[in-house]
Structure 1
Amino acid sequence: MEKALIAGATGATGKKIINLLKESPYIEPIAMIRKEDQKSIFEDQKVQWIMGDLAQDLSHICENMDKVIFAAGSGGTNVVEVDQEGAKRLIDASVSNNIKKFIMLSSMGADQPEEMEELHDYMVAKHHADIYLRNSGLNYTIVRPGALTNDSGTQHIQLSHKLKEQGSISRADVAHVLTKVLQDDTANKETFEIVTGDTLIGKALETMSTLEM
């Protein structure tokens, strides 16, 4: 089995990613945790964990890993150090360890942060992190959802390189998309936006190659 490091594993979306990958016969999730008292969350689920802090040295964190999902966030309190520079540290560690694929959970608006009055600093941080990943030489997928909700997942989305309107999407459906694109042949070196829609997630990802830029 391949091992996928999940940065942000203790967050609302990260926990859903872990739960999905626990059922995978192909990929074992490895939860990245920052505090000792977070160990029990994953030990109780029989999920492997590794200590790492996005604001600190991460040179060790990708050893023996195959893929990475960055689903971490500072919650708006330290966006440059965590959402931007923390992402860059993890990207650098991934490059050093020849990670096969790096999945970035970004956000709608990260391509044009100057137009986003709300969460402007966060969007700027995500913008720089996305560019850094694209220029890293890694195989990557950058997923930019609309506003995240805690609604139940529908397994149906609207997907485009650039959606015409803002929208929302459940964390459950975002987690499904992130785990789907871990597959070697899915959305390689692609950046796309997603909101709730009418197309099954798998079908939406299959049709990516036919989308206009």
Structure 2
Amino acid sequence: MNPFCETTKLPYLLPAKHHLTHLIILDAHERQLHPGVSVIITYLRQKFWIPSIRQVVIIRKCVICRKTDGKPYNAPDPPPLPKYRVDDAPPFSVTGVDFTGALYVKDKTGSETKAYICLFTCASTRAVHLELVPDLSEDSFLQAFRRFCSRMSVPKIMISDNASTYMAAANHIKRLFESDSLQSTLSHKGTQWQFIPKRSTWYSGWWERLIGLTKTTLKKIL
């Protein structure tokens, strides 16, 4: 005995592009508790025959399914890079600076102490200069900055986040550059300190990425 009922063996033929067909599909979708396309097709074919049914069963307009299965908005295309990132300028003309997290090292007595790496990176060439500092104080940073300028060059623009160390150092460097003795020597070389907007960490991605690479490399070789 054939287990299929009469409507399954002789289904009702429905036009694919008709409003009644659309309502029957929506009703089947709700009766089956908002399943996928294959489940709806299997349910409908027990009673109806719809030509090109897979092209007709469209559930992406269901509000409940969109709320539960919807994906987040795609990120918009990134804006063009700032002008200082693409200028053909000498290395470290525009420099970003940041500190790594604490690194635990042993001193001469064998006890464990903290140390930090001050990273200077060029905005256009992505060159990197590392300076080891014992702490995050203003004096330690200024010494690292002097060593950086001696090895590389005096940058025209320094960019950093809004850490208190950099704020104090920027004021200190500003007072330093305003002195008459230094102005006569650096008449054509001055450093302009810029801070990224507060609570906008994506502005510092071009040096934060290098911070992560530096820490990963150190962990591998040490």
Which has more radius of gyration? Answer: 2
TM norm. shorter chain > 0.5: no
Q: With CA pairs under 8 Å and 6+ residues apart, which has the higher RCO, 1 or 2?
A: 1
Higher percent of residues as strand: 1
